[in-house]
Amino acid sequence: AHVGCVNDLAFAHPNKQLCVVTCGDDKLIKVWDLSGKKLYTFEGHEAPVYSICPHQKENIQFIFSTALDGKIKAWLY
């Protein structure tokens, strides 16, 4: 789970496995499987993360994220 509010969630489909991606006030992005097991945690934002957008191109999985300080980041997983 996140410390503080969860600000956004999205569904991703890496390797034909449905996952939930979340972000929150704790400045983290997390990827979960449908059983609730955390698969990945991404950290690096300096402000709360308020928007996420998973994307897939060929066999590469991305998550684009934006934070309250206006910074946009791209994460590979």
Residue 32 CA to residue 19 CA, distance in Å, equals: 6
What's the pLDDT score for residue 62?
95
| pLDDT at residue 1, rounded to an integer | 85
Confidence of residue 74 (pLDDT cuts 50, 70, 90): very high
All residues at 6 or more sequence positions from 58 whose CB lies less than 8 Å from its CB, including other chains:
none
Distances (CA, A) of 44 to 18, 26, 32, 68, 69: 25, 11, 19, 13, 13
Do 22 and 16 contact (CB within 8 A), yes or no? no
Q: What is the pLDDT of residues 21-71, one digit of tens each?
A: 999 999 999 999 999 999 999 999 999 999 999 999 888 999 999 999 999
What φ, ψ does residue 73 adopt, rounded to 5°? -130, 155
